[in-house]
Every structure is written in structure tokens, then in C-alpha cells.
Amino acid sequence: MADQGINTTRLDAELLLSHVLDRNRVWLITHFHDTLGEEALKVFEGLVLRRAQHEPLQHILGKQEFWGLDFKVTPNVLIPRPETELIIESALGIAKHLHGPITMIDLCTGSGCIAVCLSHELASARVLATDASPGALVIARENAARHNVSDRITFLHGDLFAPLEMLDIREQIDIIVTNPPYIPSGDLSTLQPEVRDFEPEMALIAGPEGIEIATAIIRQAPAFLKQGGALIMEMGMGQANELSVVVNNTRAYSSIEIFKDLAGIERVIVAKKA
């Protein structure tokens, strides 16, 4: 795999072998000199070949950990990233100051990781989760069932707020969370092959500027938020200033906070409705 430019070859091989044998990595270390059976070796070699072709490890294993929970992932959904956990942290920080049942919207839910984690942490919360991809919603519903929160989340098919227009929820939402597409279309060819060739383009590309979908969300969110309700949104590197201008130009929000990820990149914007 190293010949193909994959620099995590040992770790990937260990995780693939753990998957084949249904054993953890500690077991592998303590059984380092054991002989691998012919059938297991054949399966393992097939998985290594797939990884050597830059197929994401998460697709091969069929899962990804996020916020301490295992989520099913397929090529129909964006693989959950650690930086997206900032959305969970921000939402929980706001939720602890709210009283009574909490109603949330999760736009571009994808695998459902944000909606599921928030439902898992906030037992009384109701979440409405939307996505334009029917395939993504299938995975999101499976993940909700996997973590026993299906009764707390309503999944709706459609683009952004469109599936919610017919519901009587205007100015009733406490928190809107979203990890929308935010990559400029011209940057697609520069992405790592694991991302460019295997993850859904509609979950990555926002348009020529990269802020088109985020801008639409910022402008439409106030119609659904309560007074003081919060929009919590992930954004791309270098987009904080532009999106802050969009927030201020709506004249619908009273405050803006920007949170950085562990790499020091401005990653999440939190805007509260005036």
C-alpha cells in the first residue's frame, strides 16, 4: 500500500486483519506469530488490494467511530470526521441552558451522525433531520435504529428546509445543526482520492465559491428559530469571514461565535437569532 502513496499502511493492515479475524488489535499483538488460515489470508489480501486502490478504510470496514459511537458508512454518505464533533459540543453547551423539551433540526444529515449523537445525549430532544439523498437517509435510519433513538428522530427527504415547509414549526426550533457541503467545485480534482473518488460529490461540493449552501442556510434559518435560538454550522477553511458577513447582513442574528478545530482551523460558526 505504501507504493500507492498510503502512509498509514501498518495501521490500516492491522485494522483490516482485525476485521477479518473479528479480533481487536491487542489480540493481534499477542498472537503475532500465529499462522493465518488460507481462507482468512485470501479475504485479507482482497481487502488490502481494495485499500491499495485508495478505497477508504471506513468503506471497507463499513463503519466509523464518531462521538464514541459506531456508525455504519457506505459510499452513499460522507464519512464522519472528528472535527464535526465540534457541532455536538456546541449544541450540548447551548442545550444545557434550555428548559423543557428541545426541538432541533439537522440539515444535510448524511449518515445521521449528528442527529443520532444529539438524540443519544439529550433523551428529551426531538430532532427533525433532512437530506436530499434517499440513499443517505436509508443509512441514517439504520444508524438511528442501531443506537436506539429512532423514536426521537424524524427523517425527511428533501433539500435543506424544503421538507419542513409544510410543518407548523416556524419560530419553534431551539437549535439548527448542519454540516453542509462547503468545498468549491473547482477544488474537487485536488482532493485526496479517498474523498474525490469514493465519497458522494453532492455531500462535498457546494458550488463555485464553496459557501453557496451555507449562505442559503444562514438566510433561511431565522424563519424556523425561536428568539435566541442557535444555528450551528460547520464550514470550510477560510470561510469564517465571508460567512460572518452573510450572518450580519441578514440582521436576524444577535451574536456570532467561531470555534476552531484541533488543527487551529476556524471550523464551526454559531449564530444566535436576535
Asked if residues 234 and 198 have their Cβ atoms less than 8 Å apart, the reply is: no
**What is the phi-psi region of residue 158: left when phi exceeds 0, alpha when psi lies from -120 to 50, beta otherwise?**
left
Q: Are residues 38 and 126 in the same domain?
A: no
Q: What is the pLDDT of residue 2?
A: 55
Cα separation, 117 vs 13, whole angstroms: 29
Q: Are residues 48 and 68 in the same domain?
A: no
Q: Are residues 31 and 71 in the same domain?
A: no
> What does DSSP say about strands 253-260 and 205-207: parallel, antiparallel, or unpaired?
unpaired
Looking at the structure of the chain, the number of domains it has is 2
Cα separation, 131 vs 249, whole angstroms: 27
Nearest one of 145, 66, 160, 76 to 113, comparing CA atoms: 66
Q: What is the pLDDT of residue 208?
A: 97
Radius of gyration over every alpha carbon of the chain, rounded to an integer in angstroms: 20
Q: Are residues 38 and 124 in the same domain?
A: no
More confident residue, 14 or 160: 160
Mean pLDDT of 104-122: 98
Q: What is the span of the domain harbouring residue 252?
A: 64-273
Tell whether the model's pLDDT for residue 272 goes beyond 80: yes
Q: Are residues 203 and 235 in the same domain?
A: yes
Tell whether the model's pLDDT for residue 31 goes beyond 80: no
Q: Which of 53, 74, 91 is the last residue of a domain?
A: 53
Q: What is the pLDDT of residue 26?
A: 81
* Residue-wise pLDDT tens digits, 180-230: 999 999 999 999 999 999 999 999 999 999 999 999 999 999 999 999 999
Give a yes or no: residue 59 inside a domain: no
Q: In the predicted model, what is the mean pLDDT of the chain?
A: 94
Give a yes or no: residue 29 inside a domain: yes
Give a yes or no: residue 58 inside a domain: no
Q: What is the pLDDT of residue 128?
A: 98
* Residue-wise pLDDT tens digits, 154-172: 999 999 999 999 899 999 9
More confident residue, 218 or 8: 218
Q: Are residues 149 and 37 in the same domain?
A: no
Cα separation, 21 vs 62, whole angstroms: 15
Q: Are residues 39 and 75 in the same domain?
A: no
**Sorting pLDDT into bands at 50, 70 and 90, what band is 23?**
confident
Residue 168 is classified by DSSP as: S
Share of the chain above pLDDT 90, in %: 82
More confident residue, 145 or 99: 145
* Residue-wise pLDDT tens digits, 80-111: 999 999 999 999 999 999 988 999 999 999 99
Tell whether the model's pLDDT for residue 121 goes beyond 90: yes
Amino acid in position 45 = E
CATH of the domain at 127: 3.40.50.150
Q: What is the pLDDT of residue 25?
A: 78
Q: Which long-range contacts (CB under 8 A, 24 or more apart) does 243-252 make?
A: 243/211, 243/214, 243/215, 243/218, 243/269, 244/269, 246/211, 246/214, 246/215, 246/218, 246/219, 247/218, 247/271, 250/218, 250/219, 250/222, 252/222
Cα separation, 163 vs 131, whole angstroms: 9
Q: Are residues 129 and 151 in the same domain?
A: yes
More confident residue, 64 or 27: 64
Give a yes or no: residue 75 inside a domain: yes
* Residue-wise pLDDT tens digits, 223-259: 999 999 999 999 999 999 999 999 999 999 999 999 9
Mean pLDDT of 19-39: 83
